Structure 1
Amino acid sequence: MLDIAGALNRWVEEGRDFAVATVVTVGGSAPRGPGAALAVDSRGTAIGSVSGGCVEGAVYELCVQALDDGRTILERFGYSDEDAFAVGLTCGGIIEVLVTPVRANAPGYAAWLSAAARGETVALARVARGPAELLGRALLVHADGSYDGGVGDARGLGGSYDGGLGDRPELERNAAAEARAMLDAGRTGTVEISEDGSHCPGGVTLFVESSVPPPRMIVFGAVDFAAALVRAGRFLGYHVTVCDARPVFATRVRFPEADDIVVDWPHRYLRRTETDHRTVLCVLTHDAKFDVPLLETALRLPVAFVGAMGSRRTHEDRDHRLREVGLTDRELARLHSPIGLDLGARTPEETALSIAAEIVAARRGGSGVPLTGSGTPIHHDADGRATGVVRPGVAA
């Protein structure tokens, strides 16, 4: 639901009941991953998508049904060779969709949607599979491990109950612990626990949606290419910072779409700012006095991507200088340089597209080769494996 959390939050503020269908598991070549959602309000308005069009009509009807009878259901969609006109995924994949009715005044959902819309760190754990009386029930789990019940209502829009998982405190505590572990990793996906509340896989499947702040992209070098890359980074959902030591270039006028503009020596700023395993660092200065101390720091940080612009000659000189300051082969192997995929790019916009494409490929495990005639998988896990099995998604 993260992709439509802002719109759903507005529906809650307007007092609209709605039903939301969320992809909870994916198998094969499915068009969208876990967490993709479609919602229908009491007026029949629909937002979002679960499949890019393949099964939207059927899912819409399931949402209308959930609004009418107040029941949560889990529905599976796949491709049917026996019936060419059956509702299914033409790409050959399989998805399971959890359809849940939500009251506008349900405090837990309202709190989660509000927090998610603000980009705060919070998780929503829903029972996607298990005893009928638990299906659809949910917990709101905070970053410190505390949790709130009363989020969902398995008995319909008009009912109520005490606690997210009813009178099963041990199940509730362990569900919250599993959800917090997912939240700490910034992951969205399923986790199994036993019905008795133990952490062993058993009769209850939780679907955990982790709302975390957007990942950071830090662009070093306030050059013309940087302005286009800022726009591409924002489009991909990054919180984008531009850093340059030259105040005449690092200005809001030149980078109106950047979230932050920092005037400082790049390596000094990188040492004092916060980064994590999702952070992307793009070095566009191609000037040794900036690049070398910056990359010496960057390549020793546990970040997602480090790329540097420059010609192949510049790269060779940079590589030599970095070895002189003590970087190892393993550390240098993390550097994407020259940055970007070979698209034949010329303009700043084309170059930004080239860089953004390499970042996505590195993040998702793609090869960067054309899909036409290649035989390579269309969808990958983050570690580069083809998606042929049900797997959790990753929050960005």
Structure 2
Amino acid sequence: MTPTPDVLDLVNNMKARGEPFALATVVRTVSLTAAKAGAKAIILSDGTMTAGWIGGGCARANVLKAARQSLSDGKPRLISVQPKDVLEEHGLTAGEAREGVLYANNMCPSHGTMDIFVEPILPRPQLYICGASPVAVAIAAIAPRMGFFVSVCAPKADHTLFGDTDRLIDGYEIPADSGTNRYVVVSTQGRGDTAALKSALSTPSVYVAFVGSRKKASVLREELTVAGIAPSLLETLHAPAGLDLGGITPDEIALSIVAEMVEIRRHGQRQSDNQKEGTS
């Protein structure tokens, strides 16, 4: 008989692969319930429960719905599935949210109460650093602390310049399956600038930046235009890269670039939250 995979082992594997999912955990039960506190299940973005168990149909439908919502907006949810008479006793109705708790009706014969915490596990934003300049090395050191999954794209001989990095790629080619939640910084310092920028602009990204002077960036834009890169893509290029903090040293410049990425990332999240509030 094939052993049932451990939910927490699957969680670690899925996080390592960068797959989005929700983890549902039963945190409290009252009276008779099919699942007990500590039961867990993994739910995919399409609402499929792929591993684990958190009880029968009474809780399942509400948990799957909450998981889809959590994966959409990135926010955890606490669901309390209670018998109708218990809800009414506390002046509650199914579907009502109060003080951070979403209440649902338990219509199963057991008539127990079950509280389930649904936590979205979303992949870290992908940062691709093209080049091995001192600024590139500094960005690779700072960005992980800001929550980025860092991939360094540079000639293999330069890989030793970097410390602990999530991934090292030989050359400047960014993988085609790198997703859309992608940030790219080109800091090649004259070594393969055009090739790295072509790769960076090859597919849509949240942020593409070039570390260099305005004059150098202008010359490269002309070269890339001749090479067939669409003007609309070149307009998205941040050059010079980073917020204007007056940085001079590689560490200071790297800080300004990571700060700009954080600003863009969080600004996008705030806009999404405001849009949801405006339509609710």
Task: Give the TM-score, by structure 2 length.
Answer: 0.66
- C-alpha contact (below 8 Å) 2:131/2:186 kept by paired residues: yes
For 1:315, give the aligned amino acid.
A
Matched with 2:132 is: 222
CA distance in 1, matches of 2:261, 2:51: 35
Unaligned 5+ segments in structure 2 are: 1-5, 84-93, 103-115
CA distance in 1, matches of 2:63, 2:274: 29
Matched with 1:79 is: none
User: Does 2:75 correspond to 1:188?
Assistant: yes
User: Does 2:63 correspond to 1:175?
Assistant: yes
Matched with 1:202 is: 95
User: Does 2:131 correspond to 1:231?
Assistant: no
User: Does 2:166 correspond to 1:259?
Assistant: yes
- C-alpha contact (below 8 Å) 1:112/1:140 kept by paired residues: no
CA distance in 2, matches of 1:123, 1:310: 41
CA distance in 2, matches of 1:189, 1:390: 20
For 2:211, give the aligned amino acid.
M
DSSP-derived class of the 2:225 partner? helix
Question: Cα distance 1:125–1:148, how it changes in 2: closer, same or farther (>3 A)?
Answer: same
Question: Cα distance 1:171–1:290, how it changes in 2: closer, same or farther (>3 A)?
Answer: same
Matched with 1:98 is: none
Matched with 2:113 is: none
DSSP-derived class of the 1:219 partner? strand
Question: Cα distance 1:190–1:304, how it changes in 2: closer, same or farther (>3 A)?
Answer: farther
Question: Cα distance 1:339–1:113, how it changes in 2: closer, same or farther (>3 A)?
Answer: same
Shift of 1:305: 1.6
Shift of 1:356: 0.5
Matched with 2:187 is: 284
- Percent identity over the alignment is 26
CA distance in 1, matches of 2:68, 2:76: 12
User: Does 2:247 correspond to 1:345?
Assistant: yes
DSSP-derived class of the 2:188 partner? coil
- C-alpha contact (below 8 Å) 2:186/2:193 kept by paired residues: yes
For 1:149, give the aligned amino acid.
W
Question: Cα distance 1:355–1:384, how it changes in 2: closer, same or farther (>3 A)?
Answer: farther
Question: Could you tell me which of 294, 304, 320 is aligned with 2:196?
Answer: 294
Unaligned 5+ segments in structure 1 are: 1-109, 151-162, 366-379, 392-396
Matched with 2:271 is: 383
CA distance in 1, matches of 2:181, 2:258: 14
Shift of 1:133: 9.8
For 1:334, give the aligned amino acid.
T
Task: Give the TM-score, by structure 1 length.
Answer: 0.49
Shift of 1:338: 0.9
DSSP-derived class of the 1:338 partner? coil
Matched with 1:303 is: 205
CA distance in 2, matches of 1:263, 1:346: 29
Question: Cα distance 1:290–1:345, how it changes in 2: closer, same or farther (>3 A)?
Answer: same
DSSP-derived class of the 2:192 partner? helix
Please give the root-mean-square deviation of Cα atoms over the aligned residues, in Å: 4.2
Question: Could you tell me which of 167, 171, 177 is aligned with 1:274?
Answer: 177
CA distance in 1, matches of 2:233, 2:58: 45
Question: Cα distance 1:350–1:384, how it changes in 2: closer, same or farther (>3 A)?
Answer: farther
Give deviations 1:321-352, integer Å, cap 9, x for gaps: 22223333432232111111111111111111
- C-alpha contact (below 8 Å) 1:147/1:176 kept by paired residues: no
Shift of 1:390: 10
CA distance in 1, matches of 2:32, 2:244: 54
Question: Cα distance 1:301–1:283, how it changes in 2: closer, same or farther (>3 A)?
Answer: same
Give deviations 1:183-230, integer Å, cap 9, x for gaps: 4x58234599x999xxxx934738642223433221111111111111
CA distance in 2, matches of 1:312, 1:177: 49
Length, aligned pairs only:
237
- C-alpha contact (below 8 Å) 2:241/2:257 kept by paired residues: yes
DSSP-derived class of the 2:269 partner? coil
CA distance in 1, matches of 2:263, 2:73: 19
CA distance in 2, matches of 1:207, 1:330: 44
Question: Could you tell me which of 145, 149, 153 is aligned with 2:53?
Answer: 149
Shift of 1:178: 4.9
CA distance in 1, matches of 2:185, 2:168: 14
For 1:202, give the aligned amino acid.
G
CA distance in 1, matches of 2:32, 2:187: 56
- C-alpha contact (below 8 Å) 2:7/2:40 kept by paired residues: no
Write 1 or 2 for the structure with the bigger share of helix. 2
